[in-house]
């Protein structure tokens, strides 16, 4: 059955979360990151996600800007980096992450097929607006939905409830797309038909809910949306 709406996660799915550290390492003065950018980016992302889950469990919500900065501080200390200028530059670059190469074509194909497109993200509204504009995909969505509306992070069910509340589309008419295995599991358990974009060939998460589809990138989305 053709989906009425395709809902994308943003960070790691449409936007390359390694892009900030990679770009900083390539800039003049970025020599300190030449050998560290990849593990730094990995630790930054891991801590960012951990802090969203832990803050939700603790009932201590802070917006994604704060979580992202806290995670970077941890990662920089772990790698022996204490450069305030570098910290500021990495945070600035995180607000303008590049989109994955196939993202624009996929969004254009969905639009051409008359299928709705939305983002559901942990990102704060300001972060998301800056990100989609910088990536050149700002006009590609019917809705850009932030968890800030409920003050909790994925995979809490109240976050997935926002899709229906904001768009009026029932869960059974949604194809949900995420590169985060735990998010794909949460969305599947919620009742969305789900595509896990498994860019790293990782094992399927042992969690309630399993993705209906798995792909290496976003390319199959338009075809899957019409099945």
pTM listed for this prediction: 0.95
pLDDT at 29: 80
Listed in sequence order, the DSSP H helices in 9-146 are 19-26, 37-58, 64-78, 84-94, 103-112, 125-134
pLDDT at 32: 78
Judged against a pLDDT cut of 80, whether residue 1 lies above it is answered with no
Reading the block at residue 122, the tokens are 């942990």
Say whether both 147 and 201 belong to one domain: yes
SS3 82: coil
Say whether both 90 and 137 belong to one domain: no
Say whether both 204 and 143 belong to one domain: yes
Least confident of 14-18, 33-37, 72-76, 120-124: 33-37
Cβ count within 10 A of residue 139: 9
Say whether both 187 and 201 belong to one domain: yes
Say whether both 83 and 115 belong to one domain: no
pLDDT digits (tens, 9 = 90+) for 55-96: 999 999 999 999 999 999 999 999 999 999 999 999 999 999
> What is the number of structural domains in the chain?
2
Say whether both 137 and 109 belong to one domain: yes
Q: Confirm if 104 and 138 have CB atoms less than 8 A apart.
A: no
Say whether both 57 and 146 belong to one domain: no
Say whether both 188 and 217 belong to one domain: yes
Say whether both 86 and 106 belong to one domain: no
pLDDT at 31: 81
Say whether both 58 and 120 belong to one domain: no
Domain around 82 = 19-94
Q: Judge whether 63 counts as a catalytic residue.
A: no
pLDDT at 201: 95
Closest CA to 160 of 128, 122, 131, 196: 122
Say whether both 87 and 118 belong to one domain: no
pLDDT at 14: 98
Q: Catalytic residue, from 9, 16, 43, 183: name it.
A: 9
Q: Longest C-alpha distance within the chain, in Å?
A: 53
């Amino acid at each position: 059955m053709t989906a009425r709406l395709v809902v994308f996660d943003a960070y790691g799915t449409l936007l390359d979360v390694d892009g900030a550290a990679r770009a900083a390492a390539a800039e003049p003065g970025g020599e300190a990151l030449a050998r560290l950018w990849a593990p730094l980016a990995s630790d930054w992302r891991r801590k960012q996600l951990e802090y969203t889950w832990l803050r939700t469990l603790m009932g201590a919500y802070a917006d994604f800007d704060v979580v992202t900065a806290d995670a970077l501080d941890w990662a920089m200390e772990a790698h022996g980096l204490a450069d305030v200028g570098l910290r500021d530059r990495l945070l600035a670059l995180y607000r303008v992450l590049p989109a994955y190469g196939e993202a624009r074509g996929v969004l254009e194909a969905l639009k051409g097929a008359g299928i709705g497109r939305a983002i559901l993200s942990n990102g704060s509204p300001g972060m998301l607006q800056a990100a989609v504009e910088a990536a050149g995909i700002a006009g590609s969505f019917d809705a850009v939905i932030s968890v800030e509306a409920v003050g909790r992070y994925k995979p809490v069910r109240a976050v997935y409830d926002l899709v229906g509340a904001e768009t009026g589309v029932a869960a059974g008419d949604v194809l949900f797309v995420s590169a985060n295995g735990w998010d794909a599991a949460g969305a599947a358990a919620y009742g969305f038909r789900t595509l896990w974009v498994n860019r790293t060939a990782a094992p399927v998460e042992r969690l309630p809910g399993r993705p209906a589809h798995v792909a290496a990138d976003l390319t199959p989305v338009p075809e899957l949306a019409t099945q």
